[in-house]
Amino acid sequence: MSNSYSIKPITEAVQHGEGPHWDHGNQILYFVDTFKATIYRWNFCSDHLSSYKLENHNSVAIVIPIKDKEDELLVASDRDVFVLKWPNKTKNDYSKTHTPLTLAKLEREKPKNQFNDGKVDSKGRLWLGTLTRNEDLSVSSNGGSLYMLAYEDGMKEIERISNTSISNGLAWSQDNKRFYHIDSSTRMVVGYDYHEESGEISNKKIIFDLKDHPNLEDIPDGMTIDENDHLWIALFGGHSVINVDPASGELMRVIEVPVTYVTSVCFGGPDLDILYATTSRLHLDREGLEKEPMAGRILAIEHLGVKGLPSREPALLTCQ
């Protein structure tokens, strides 16, 4: 493992980048600008960035390409889950010819709630967390949940974890026997025994607690896992990404980033050896933006000496 790494921005800035997902087959990085309700995709080969603003939505959490469906995407926005075909026409033409296919509407009784982080498991099921967002963008305690959504003769929504504040980072071990989750407000990473076939989780255990590491600032946000089953965790407000061994709880590395608010990470690139980090400029004033010109940009962290795992894609979904 290399102790030398490099960081470079690969996109222009957005307000609050989140939800990175690497489409390995097409060498495309997807991500979102949460409060602008805009989805993005960046092509590694052409270095081309394109975007689409969702209509009639105030936020977006994730955008993930659907397995074996060209240009069809699973999107979680506000409290809606739907399939969207990437617009290759002009916006006006696209709006007239395509209507998103709604799959689920969660927590209708909680109008302040919205989706936050989400990922797909080995069975193609979507795991998606919610939180309660106030008008000033602060988050209320214990207002969210983590759901597993399985598409089998219709969408089934199963609550896996209740009373979360900021449901965030999700990851599974390579053998699919362990599941890892972050509720950011606790400043902890927790692990569960995982039953791959049913998606049931049990035997919660604290894997890593930032309160035991006074040099680590603020809260854990998005998370991914590498080929060694080690976790990579973005620290929101902590201007860093940390590398943790969940088996021992050891803090293995701290990757310092020239941005205060790192929101999430995923591995990508042709060899899955580039760590892409989404970042935010939402909470920075003019002086802060001058000090952090990379804030809001996607950062490529290279030469880490480790590879990630291919991102999983949802199955059994199709546009009509």
pLDDT in tens, the chain (320 residues): 557 899 999 999 999 999 999 999 999 999 999 999 999 999 999 999 999 999 999 999 999 999 888 899 999 999 999 999 998 755 554 454 468 888 899 998 999 999 999 999 999 999 999 999 888 888 889 899 999 998 777 778 999 999 999 999 999 999 999 999 999 999 999 999 999 999 999 999 999 999 999 999 999 999 999 999 999 999 999 999 999 999 999 999 999 999 999 999 999 999 999 999 999 999 999 999 999 999 999 999 999 999 999 999 987 554 44
* Catalytic residue, candidates 23, 78, 183, 221: 221
Residue found under tokens 């025994």: 193
Instruction: Kindly state the DSSP code that residue 87 receives in the 8-state scheme.
Output: -
Per the annotation, does 168 bind a ligand? yes
Amino acid at 111: P
Q: 116 labelled as ligand-binding?
A: yes
Beta bridge partners, 182, equal: 189
Q: Is 113 annotated as a binding residue?
A: no
- Give the span between the Cα atoms of 305 and 6, in whole angstroms: 11
Beta strands in 134-284 (DSSP E): 139-140, 144-151, 155-164, 167-172, 178-183, 188-194, 201-209, 219-225, 231-236, 240-245, 250-256, 262-268, 274-279
165 touches 139 (CB < 8 A): yes
C-alpha 29 chain-centroid distance: 12
**Residue 99: closest CA among 89, 85, 109, 88:** 85
> Has 117 been annotated as catalytic?
no
288 DSSP β-pair partners: none
Q: Which domains does the chain have, with CATH numbers?
A: 6-302 (2.120.10.30)
